[in-house]
Amino acid sequence: MKKTSVKTELGKLTPRFFQIKGKKQYGYDKVKVFSAKEFGVKGAKYQIVSLPANASVPPHFHRKVTELFLVQAGKGKIEVNSKEFKAKAGDIFLIQKGDFHALSNPFKKPFVIHVFKWNEEEKDINWLRR
């Protein structure tokens, strides 16, 4: 049993950088709340991510991972399979394995998303060129 709160976890957000084709790129802030160990399910994870103003996660896909995004706060854009969606607090997105997706925050307030993952494996992220 592990108990925590969103407020506590948001206080632990740390910067996430990407290495894409040898170039270090800032993406977003995140905190892993529960891992597969806490879930007792291989490949499961729950994390909170926050995209500050003008931050983004480049287009990518996963061969095995399914993700569920629950928007907690702010507004942003989520692109899935070349279709762009405006996202706001309360919206939920299901990203299936193989779906090309990207996130961005062109607004001033942080875009905060709860991310639930299934079937996660190391090195299962495939970055796309733009």
Number of Cβ within 10 Å of residue 21's Cβ equals: 8
What is residue 61's predicted lDDT score, i.e. its pLDDT? Answer: 96
Q: Give the pLDDT mean for 106-120.
A: 95
For residue 126, which amino acid is it? N
pLDDT for 118 beyond 60: yes
CA dist., res. 82 & res. 100, Å (int): 7
pLDDT in tens, 10-35: 888 887 776 666 777 777 889 999 99
What is residue 21's predicted lDDT score, i.e. its pLDDT? Answer: 67
CA dist., res. 130 & res. 12, Å (int): 32
What is residue 6's predicted lDDT score, i.e. its pLDDT? Answer: 87
The superfamily (CATH) of domain 37-122 is Jelly Rolls (2.60.120.10)
Q: Mean pLDDT over all residues of the chain? A: 91
Q: DSSP per residue over 67-125, as a string? A: EEEEEEESEEEEEETTEEEEEETT-EEEE-TT--EEEE--SSS-EEEEEEEES--TT--
Task: Please report, to the nearest 10 degrees, the dihedral formed by the alpha carbons of residues 34, 37, 42, 43 taken in order.
Answer: 30
The counts of H helices and E strands in the chain are 2, 11
Q: Where are the domains of the chain?
A: 37-122
What is residue 59's predicted lDDT score, i.e. its pLDDT? Answer: 92
Q: Give the pLDDT mean for 50-60.
A: 91
pLDDT for 130 beyond 80: no
